[in-house]
Amino acid sequence: MMSQTLNVDQIRKDFPILSRRLHGNKALVYLDSTATAQKPVTVIRAMEDYYNQTNANIHRGVHTLAEEATAAYEGARERIAKFIGARHAREVIFTRNTTESINLVAYSWARKNLVSGDVVILTEMEHHSNLVPWQILADERGIRLEFIPVTEEGELDLLTYQNLLELRPKLVAFSQMSNVLGTINPAREIIEMAHRAGAVTLIDGAQSVPHLPVDVQQLGADFLAFSAHKMCGPTGIGVLYGRRDLLEAMPPFLGGGDMIKRVTLRSFSPNELPHKFEAGTPAIAEVIGFGAAVDYLIQMGMNNIAAHEHAITRYALDRLSEISGLKLIGPSAEKKGGVCAFTMEGIHPHDIAQLLDREGIAVRAGHHCAMPLHQRYGLPATTRASFYLYNTFDEVDLLAEALERAKELFG
């Protein structure tokens, strides 16, 4: 089978690691993009070029290298802002990752605006990154956490959500796409309902931004967090998008250089956005690589990527459902992104992952930083195969064939 939207054979040539051979010259079948995506050569070269040609600190220097580095860094911010539909580049704050972006909201916005008894609504399908910061705040401030349930089919129970909104929450924070179930949640509807109840919203976009078009203005998003490494970019760099009025009213997250306008021995004045939230020397090369990754995804077309993943996920669900004793977790292909989490009767997920690795197939096994979700389904762990723009239908066949052999091996 071939994708009708992308030339995947040509795309694979852009990713050097996909030519690697493992365990007796077996071709690498990389099905773990939900954990981290592979990097195209354009991203790798952009970072190499910075270090080879332009390496200098940004914002402070007036020499040629400093000015070039600053232009490249801020140029990446402009392109990333445009990629997510932000009104202003200054609404894009660079962080280390999605986790730090969510923590920035928890430590800055929430600690300024939430008091004991205030309600924060989350969901049962959240990654730990969008659970633990709010649990810490609940212990510290006495805020009340409520959760939108997940149905047996892997979707959010929006009727219960409507009832929870009667509690007049101050914040609704949710994942746009589950890293386990693959469920694509109706973000715009969730946000509109939250706004009618007077709540601010935070989207965990770690899984959605890399895989489908996300426009913060169309969604009406107040905050959006995402990471470069899941969207063909480098590790160690992420983004918090925030509405300008919200960000301007928030206190700084970290103190130090570059986040200040004026300092005396006893006081300081914070810098303007976005620098107020970017203390110290930032991850300059990583931001430049992030910009190159966004350029690459734009070239491929986010609608094309989403369509390819939808097709390959539908095919994978069909193939895996043919294997007796294998149980898929999550909704149908029409309601999910490129994620297939499953269990196999009589075989622990870690054993499945190790057996697949011997075949050169890389998948993830465990609770995927979503322990409460697994508890909701009564599962200690699952095996997860995930897909991106460089995966093929043939790789799905190799996965299915290897799982059949694993089943035979375990009797």
pLDDT digits (tens, 9 = 90+) for 117-143: 999 999 999 999 999 999 999 999 999
pLDDT of residue 4: 55
Catalytic residue flag (residue 340): no
Lowest model confidence (mean pLDDT) among 149-158, 266-275, 353-362, 388-397: 266-275
Whether the model clears a pTM of 0.85, i.e. scores above it, the answer is yes
For residue 90, which phi and psi values (nearest 5 degrees)? -70, -10
Using CA atoms, how far apart are residues 205 and 226, in angstroms rounded to an integer? 5
pLDDT cut 70: percent of the chain above it: 99
pLDDT of residue 5: 77
Using CA atoms, how far apart are residues 381 and 342, in angstroms rounded to an integer? 9
Mean pLDDT of the chain: 96
Chain segment 84-115, per-residue pLDDT in tens = 999 999 999 999 999 999 999 999 999 999 99
pLDDT of residue 410: 85
SS3 readout for the chain: CCCCCCCHHHHHCCCHHHHCEECCCEECEECECCCCCCCCHHHHHHHHHHHHHHCCCCCCCCCHHHHHHHHHHHHHHHHHHHHCCCCCHHHEEEECCHHHHHHHHHHHHHHHHCCCCCEEEEECCCCHHHCHHHHHHHHHHCCEEEEECECCCCCECHHHHHHHHHHCCCEEEEECECCCCCEECCHHHHHHHHHHCCCEEEEECCCCCCCCCCCHHHHCCCEEEEECCCCCCCCCCEEEEECHHHHHHCCCCCCCCCCEEEECCCCEEECCCCHHHCCCCCCHHHHHHHHHHHHHHHHHCHHHHHHHHHHHHHHHHHHHHCCCCEEEECCCHHHECCEEEEEECCECHHHHHHHHHHCCEECEEECCCCHHHHHHCCCCCEEEEECCCCCCHHHHHHHHHHHHHHHHHCC
pLDDT cut 90: percent of the chain above it: 95
Q: Which amino acid is at 248?
A: E
Which CATH architecture group holds 44-299?
3-Layer(aba) Sandwich (3.40)
pLDDT of residue 406: 93
Chain segment 184-232, per-residue pLDDT in tens = 999 999 999 999 999 999 999 999 999 999 999 999 999 999 999 999 9
Using CA atoms, how far apart are residues 389 and 17, in angstroms rounded to an integer? 14
For residue 137, which phi and psi values (nearest 5 degrees)? -65, -35
**Which of 183, 171, 74, 69 lies closest to 125 in space, CA to CA?**
183
Q: Decide: 8 and 309 in contact? Cβ < 8 Å.
A: no
Using CA atoms, how far apart are residues 332 and 318, in angstroms rounded to an integer? 10
Using CA atoms, how far apart are residues 213 and 201, in angstroms rounded to an integer? 19
Q: Which of the four pLDDT bands, split at 50, 70 and 90, describes residue 362?
A: very high
The CA-atom distances, in angstroms, between 33 and each of 97, 304, 308, 366 are: 16, 17, 14, 15
Q: Which of the four pLDDT bands, split at 50, 70 and 90, describes residue 1?
A: very low
With vertex at residue 162, the alpha carbon angle to CA 165 and CA 99, rounded to the nearest 5 degrees, is 65
Using CA atoms, how far apart are residues 83 and 292, in angstroms rounded to an integer? 12
Q: Residue 274: is the preceding peptide bond cis (ω within 30°)?
A: yes
pLDDT of residue 6: 93
Chain segment 10-59, per-residue pLDDT in tens = 999 999 999 999 999 999 999 999 999 999 999 999 999 999 999 999 99
**Which of 245, 250, 288, 410 lies closest to 343 in space, CA to CA?**
410
For residue 51, which phi and psi values (nearest 5 degrees)? -70, -35
Using CA atoms, how far apart are residues 158 and 183, in angstroms rounded to an integer? 14
Domain boundaries in the chain?
A: 8-30+301-409, 44-299
Catalytic, out of 28, 246, 254, 369: 369
pLDDT exceeds 60 at position 2: no
Q: Which CATH number does the domain 8-30+301-409 belong to among 3.90.1150.10, 3.40.50.2300, 3.40.50.300, 3.40.50.12780?
A: 3.90.1150.10
